[in-house]
Amino acid sequence: MSGLHSQCHRQLSPHGRLDIRSAPWQDEATSWRSWESRRPTPFRCLWTGCIRSGRRPTTPNRCASASGTVFEESSGTCRTAFAAATGNKHMQAKPVGAMTPAVVLTLALAAQAQVRFAGGVDIADVVSGVLAGSPDIEQADLAVEASAGARLLAASPFDLQLSTALELARARLPLVNARNPLLDSETVETRTSARKSFRTGLIVSSDVSFARIRTGTTGPATGQVDSWVSVRIPLAAGRGGSAVVGDERAAQESVAASRLERDHIAARAVHDAVLAYWRYVAAQERLRTYVESAERAHRLVRETEVLIRADERPASDLDLVAGNRAQKQTVVTAARQTLLDAKYALGIAMGLGAGAVRTLGAPLTAFPAAAFDCSGFEAETRAAAVRSALRKRRDLAALRARRDGARLAWEGALRDVRSRWDVVTRFGHTRVGGSAGSEAGVSFAAGAAGLNGLVQVQYEPVATNRAARGRAMVGAASHRASVAAVDDLARRIEASVLVAIEALDNAVQEALAAEEAVRLSGRTVLTEQEKFRLGLATLFDAILAEDSLTNARLQRTTARLRFAAALLRLRFETGTLLDPAAGAVSVDAIRIGSFGVEECRP
């Protein structure tokens, strides 16, 4: 750590220049706390950037990131090049004031994660990476928030509604048989109202008003206070709410469906990322096979040269083995490109940027062993696996929740289609008082006061409500469509589980046969090489044996990939890729690379 401190200290210029392109930032043993405690006084170094601490700089300072990108610090503002270093385009330049501890921690953790992946990546890294950086999961989280907002919006008609109004009015009233044909009237009124709708269809409203009325320019002012309470009671079809209640209940089901869909999207993202990881492992293994094949071809060239110098082989044999070596080297180059494509596909599936993908290390987790006995999947167990999938699959549960929501919305719309009868009761109190001789106010102590009441029966025929009928038709169609979607997905899940079990059985048999083929091909190569040295075999026999071993190893890699993919597919199709106890995606590599028949039982 002291070496890092001195190296960074030597690169500080009088103007605050700090070049960290040659600093050992990729060393995982580098301790950030140790470096922070020994930092040069005028600066705080943060992986790929620096922030001036102390007084504001008077001259622009330039720093270079680990990737060579230059950024400036001027007038207390540090523009970082972290986006170029990590490949994360969402990270933008921020002023020093915006470099909160959370931002600093995020930058440090991102750089540390990039360094950790540079040393290699395993299944746990893949799962944690995709859960933290998958844009699909982030969009699903936002969809959950949006559905929660839609639920609040659907429940807004049942909120307590308050309103206040101030009215100023002046009128000129015509008079008959009077000296002055017009009479001025001024009114100042303040009204406060409250309204509350209940989900049973009951509506309660109340309002209080204060009015000051003056008639004529010299007449006295009159004050009036009105208070009312109104209750609307639904009868017959109006009880139990209306389409608004159905929409609110449907919105609640939509929130549950969004959460289930988020879990399924997380499972799909993990499935795709782990499958990309297995393909990365397969590409690495294929490259190793091609490299070993090229090395064997190179050794065959050297052995042929020795035999030619000893006059045991004709010189023309050298062209044959040299051409074979060149062909093997060409395949190695193509395999390196395939490995690069697989690495970038894995990084994209994990949600990493281009810079982080470039530093992604080699795979550390090997293929799961193909020691799996599919004999336990009898007819009864297969049926149990199907029932387990229908019970645990989050996407099917989400469709069922949306189906229930569509049914609730449809039932609410049907209530509005029927004729509606309501009883409205209204009770209030009114007090009227005259002026007490003061121009500034009105006394309400004197005057008349009394109670008011109203009972009313309202009838709304359905023939006049075309909007309600149209809403009911839309709700019925949506419900039938959701029922069809649930049935279709259940049918597909049942078929997918059965096919996944068969695929796993075939993959096990293929993997075992491939292992046997590699073992026999290896023995054949040793035999042909010995026969070639003794002059009992031709070059064609030796090359054919080498190619047979190479093909057997490639086929073994393909079989291992199919077995790992079949296990992963069975996990996904049966809905067991998610940990039902924790409610989150499992990060246990043993769980991803294994499957127990007992898991299908309830």
Q: Supply the pLDDT for residue 243.
A: 82
CB atoms within 10 A of CB 438: 9
Per the CB < 8 A criterion, the answer to whether 225 and 210 are in contact is: yes
Confidence of residue 224 (pLDDT cuts 50, 70, 90): confident
**Is 314 or 163 the better-scoring residue by pLDDT?**
163
Q: Which two tokens stand for residue 552?
A: 């057997």
List pLDDT tens digits, range 164-193.
999 888 776 665 555 655 566 788 889 999
Confidence of residue 101 (pLDDT cuts 50, 70, 90): low
| Least trusted range by pLDDT, from 450-454, 547-551, 583-587 | 583-587
Q: Supply the pLDDT for residue 148.
A: 93
**Best-predicted range by mean pLDDT (236-240, 271-275, 293-297, 352-356):** 271-275
Dist CA 518 CA 143 (whole Å):
50
Q: Supply the pLDDT for residue 31.
A: 35
**Best-predicted range by mean pLDDT (55-59, 77-81, 210-214):** 210-214
Dist CA 470 CA 460 (whole Å):
17
**What's the rounded mean pLDDT across residues 111-136?**
77
Q: What is the C-alpha end-to-end distance of the chain, expressed in Å?
A: 56
Q: Could you give the percent of the chain with pLDDT greater than 70?
A: 70
CB atoms within 10 A of CB 71: 19
Q: Which two tokens stand for residue 532?
A: 């070639």
**What's the rounded mean pLDDT across residues 505-528?**
91
Residue 84 vs residues 114, 449, 571: alpha-carbon distances, Å: 13, 79, 38
Q: Supply the pLDDT for residue 211.
A: 87
Per the CB < 8 A criterion, the answer to whether 460 and 420 are in contact is: yes
Q: Could you give the percent of the chain with pLDDT greater than 90?
A: 32
At residue 129, does pLDDT exceed 70? yes
Per the CB < 8 A criterion, the answer to whether 131 and 585 are in contact is: yes
Q: Supply the pLDDT for residue 305.
A: 87
**Best-predicted range by mean pLDDT (64-78, 172-186, 459-473):** 459-473
**Best-predicted range by mean pLDDT (19-28, 77-86, 87-96, 118-127):** 118-127
Task: Please report where in the chains the tokens 């409610």 appear, as a residue.
Answer: 583
Per the CB < 8 A criterion, the answer to whether 514 and 556 are in contact is: yes
**Is 598 or 491 the better-scoring residue by pLDDT?**
491
Question: CA nearest 274: which of 67, 571, 488, 598?
Answer: 571
Q: Supply the pLDDT for residue 96.
A: 38
**What's the rounded mean pLDDT across residues 403-425?**
88
At residue 57, does pLDDT exceed 50? no
**Is 167 or 465 the better-scoring residue by pLDDT?**
167
**What's the rounded mean pLDDT across residues 106-134?**
72
Confidence of residue 73 (pLDDT cuts 50, 70, 90): very low
**What's the rounded mean pLDDT across residues 317-339?**
90
**What's the rounded mean pLDDT across residues 499-525?**
91
**What's the rounded mean pLDDT across residues 198-216?**
86
**Is 550 or 592 the better-scoring residue by pLDDT?**
550
At residue 155, does pLDDT exceed 60? yes
**What's the rounded mean pLDDT across residues 218-245?**
80
Q: Supply the pLDDT for residue 92.
A: 41
Question: CA nearest 199: which of 248, 236, 151?
Answer: 248
Q: Supply the pLDDT for residue 177.
A: 57
- Mean residue pLDDT of the chain comes to 75
| Helix (H/G/I), strand (E/B), else coil: 75 | coil
At residue 8, does pLDDT exceed 50? no
Confidence of residue 460 (pLDDT cuts 50, 70, 90): confident
Task: Please report where in the chains the tokens 């040295």 appear, as a residue.
Answer: 533
**What's the rounded mean pLDDT across residues 351-362?**
86
Per the CB < 8 A criterion, the answer to whether 50 and 78 are in contact is: yes
| Least trusted range by pLDDT, from 4-8, 299-303, 349-353, 530-534 | 4-8
At residue 86, does pLDDT exceed 90? no
**Is 266 or 116 the better-scoring residue by pLDDT?**
266
What letter represents residue 421's amino acid?
W
**Is 51 or 266 the better-scoring residue by pLDDT?**
266
At residue 68, does pLDDT exceed 80? no
What are the strands, taking DSSP E only, across 332-476? Answer: 420-434, 448-460
Question: CA nearest 46: which of 118, 14, 117, 94?
Answer: 94
| Least trusted range by pLDDT, from 20-34, 203-217, 408-422 | 20-34
Q: Supply the pLDDT for residue 417.
A: 81
List pLDDT tens digits, range 339-348.
999 999 999 9
